Every structure is written in structure tokens, then in C-alpha cells.
Amino acid sequence: MVLCQTSMAENIGAAARAMKTMGLSRLVLVAPRAAVDDKARSVATHAAALLDGARRVETIEQAVADSVAVWATTARSRHLNLAVVDGRTAAGEIVSQARAVPEGSPGRVSILFGAERTGLTNAELGAADRLLALDANPDYPVLNLAQAVQLVAYEVFHAAGVSPGGPLATDLPATKAELATLCARLEAALGGRAFFPGAAGEERERNARRLMQRVRLLLNRAQPSTDELQILHGMLTALLRVPRDRDE
């Protein structure tokens, strides 16, 4: 569970308690605006150890670098080309994705929760593969952060108890850090070939950022494996290689 820019210590504590109740133990705090203090520990009660083990990072990229799949919880309408899945269906897919990661692999499945007042930012949503929607009263579809964590944790717990395990995957899914490396290499190569439109300077950099954001969304949707990513790296290497003189 990844909490982004959480502003209330009580919500961090309540989220930890909700996680422990449903058998989840990995909590990541992205640029939290509240400290893990006595208020958080008081609400967490017996989940204080989970708070002690929480990982704190400053950026969403750091939070999901070791993730093979990233889900974003959001109630707001977004103009992103991401699939929206209801909570119960999403939980089944999350469990399947987690079970597909071989034992001992560092790969994770991350679920993002936004700040209390604003939700997830566009940058945070850009790190996700899919959107997870929790059904609620359409006249008042407002959930407290800790409530949202509790509902998602419950659905995952329920799905883990009734879903078949299945065989372990032999083809490791690529992590977000590996995808970021490919995108950075591709952007540098395209920049060297004057691919991005616009006049040199800020305009070209702006166009490059927009295009590469779409490329990252494409790769996130595709969810390539490590082997498939190596194929793309190999193809890029071949395209960048200086051709030999035919007479040699």
C-alpha cells in the first residue's frame, strides 16, 4: 500500500491498522506531510510495528521502482488512457499478479492512495497501469483515506483466500525501474536524432515530455516481462549501432 502526501497522522495509523487486520504488511509513504507520531501509533494500536517498518520516499518513482504492477485508486474522472476496474475484480487481478511473481523476486504489486483533500496527482497517476474504483453511493461517493485502504485491503484479503494459486511464473515481469531505464534510453536516442518537434529549447523539451509520457503509459499497459524488455533494448542497440562500411 502506497500513501502519497498524507497530511493526517491518524490516517497513516488507521491505514496501518487496516492493513494488519487483512494480512498486509508493506507500507510506503511518499513525501508524507504528517509524521508517524504518537497520534498515528495510538490509532494503529497493535499495528505499530508495521508503522516502524514503513518505507519513506520522496517521489512516486522511488515508491514503485521495484513494482511489476501499479494500481491507482481514484474517484475523479481523468483523461488518461487507463482501464478502470471495480474493486472486487481488481482485487482478484492483484492477487493473480502477486502470485505470478516468483518467490524471492523483489517485484511488488503496488496500490496508490492520494492525499486526503486532492487525491492522486497527474504525476502519481502516470505511474499506474490501471485505475481501481470503489463503488459507493453516487449521491455522496466520498471515502476517507483510511476507509479506502480498509476496503481495498479487505477485497485483496478475500480474493487471496478464494483464488487458486496456480503455477509460479518463469518469465519475470519487468519492474517500473527497468521500464524507466528503457524510456530514458529511448528518449536520449530520439533526442540525438532530432525526433522531437519544435524549436530547440523549452518547446522541444515540452514536446519530448508529452510524447514520452504517452510511451510510458503504453508500456505500463503492456506490462512487458524482463525478457521482452531485453528484446526492446537489443533492438534499440541495433538501431543505434554505427553501420560498418560495406567494403570492410
- DSSP, collapsed to helix, strand or coil, labels residue 103 as coil
What range does the domain containing 56 cover? 2-162
User: Residue 20's pLDDT band (boundaries 50, 70, 90)?
Assistant: very high
Residues 36 and 150 in one domain: yes
Q: Are strands 130-133 and 108-113 parallel, antiparallel or unpaired?
A: unpaired
Residues 91 and 189 in one domain: no
Cβ contacts of 59-63, under 8 Å, gap ≥ 24: 59/30, 59/31, 60/2, 60/4, 60/30, 60/112, 60/123, 60/124, 60/127, 61/127, 61/176, 61/180, 62/30, 63/2, 63/4, 63/28, 63/30, 63/110, 63/112, 63/127
Residue at 171 is within a domain: no
Q: Find out whether 114 and 205 touch, Cβ atoms under 8 Å.
A: no
Residues 6+ apart with CB under 8 A from 175: 65, 66, 67, 68, 106, 107
Residues 224 and 132 in one domain: no
* Closest-CA residue to 74 (of 120, 30, 117, 12): 120
Q: Which residues of 73-84 are buried (b: 16+ CB within 10 A; e: fewer)?
A: bbeeeeeeebee
Summarize the confidence of residues 75-102 as an average pLDDT: 82
Give the CA radius of gyration of the chain: 20
Q: Mean pLDDT in the chain? A: 87
Mean pLDDT lowest for which of 4-8, 29-33, 231-235?
231-235
Summarize the confidence of residues 82-106 as an average pLDDT: 87
Say what the pLDDT of residue 164 is: 45
Residues 127 and 219 in one domain: no
The residue from 162, 196, 220 where one domain ends is 162
Q: Find out whether 19 and 43 touch, Cβ atoms under 8 Å.
A: no
Residue 248, pLDDT above cutoff 70: no
Residues 142 and 184 in one domain: no
Residue at 88 is within a domain: yes
Say what the pLDDT of residue 167 is: 40
Summarize the confidence of residues 28-32 as an average pLDDT: 98
User: Residue 170's pLDDT band (boundaries 50, 70, 90)?
Assistant: very low
Residues 6+ apart with CB under 8 A from 11: 3, 34, 116, 144, 145, 146
Residue 186, pLDDT above cutoff 70: yes
CATH of the domain at 82: 3.40.1280.10
Say what the pLDDT of residue 59 is: 96
Residues 147 and 180 in one domain: no
Say what the pLDDT of residue 168 is: 39
Residues 183 and 154 in one domain: no
| 84 half-sphere exposure, CB direction, 13 A CA radius | 12
Residue 56, pLDDT above cutoff 80: yes
Summarize the confidence of residues 200-212 as an average pLDDT: 87
Summarize the confidence of residues 87-92 as an average pLDDT: 93
Residues 148 and 187 in one domain: no
- Neighbouring C-beta atoms of residue 118, cutoff 10 Å: 11
Say what the pLDDT of residue 67 is: 94
Residues 111 and 189 in one domain: no
Phi, psi dihedral angles at 66 (to 5 degrees): -100, 15
Say what the pLDDT of residue 76 is: 57
* Eight-state DSSP code of residue 193: T
Residues 31 and 73 in one domain: yes
Q: Find out whether 236 and 185 touch, Cβ atoms under 8 Å.
A: yes
The residue from 95, 127, 162 where one domain ends is 162
Specify the number of domains making up the chain.
Answer: 2
Residues 151 and 58 in one domain: yes
The residue from 162, 191, 207 where one domain ends is 162
Summarize the confidence of residues 181-206 as an average pLDDT: 88
Summarize the confidence of residues 47-66 as an average pLDDT: 95
User: Residue 28's pLDDT band (boundaries 50, 70, 90)?
Assistant: very high
Dmax over CA atoms of the chain, in Å, equals: 77
Residue at 170 is within a domain: no
